[in-house]
Amino acid sequence: MLAGLIAGRELMRQMMQDQLDARTAAEERRREVTGADGVARTRAERGHVRLLATTVGRVEISRRSRRSACAAGGDSPLGVLDVTHPPCPQMPAWSKALCRDCL
């Protein structure tokens, strides 16, 4: 009986994972997305994965991340600046200073 419950739970988890994968595959790329900071993110990067704990087990959510050469990445939980791009006028002053120091 317990083996049947475990198998049923795994089946539900796999169905949820398949649904999330199908939604990722069908995601349309928008030409431009504007962040909360007002900066337009015109580049999209695939392959950003997040783990999600559910009642039927862990699943992965894969999505596109929107990027801009003039702003730190939206995926950065600490707001760490991406120093691979030169500073631009739309960056906050502390970001410009950090970028100059690191380049």
In angstroms, the Cα distances linking 29 to 12, 25, 44, 45, 91 are 29, 11, 7, 10, 25
Q: Where are the domains of the chain?
A: 1-68, 72-103
- The DSSP string of 59-93 is EEEEEEEEE-TTS--TT-TT----TTS---TTS-H
**Closest by alpha carbon to 61, among 47, 76, 72?**
47
pLDDT in tens, 33-85: 787 778 888 777 777 888 888 888 999 988 877 777 766 655 554 444 444 45
Three-class secondary structure of residue 33 per DSSP: strand
Residue found by looking up tokens 């962040």 in the block: 35
pLDDT, position 25: 85
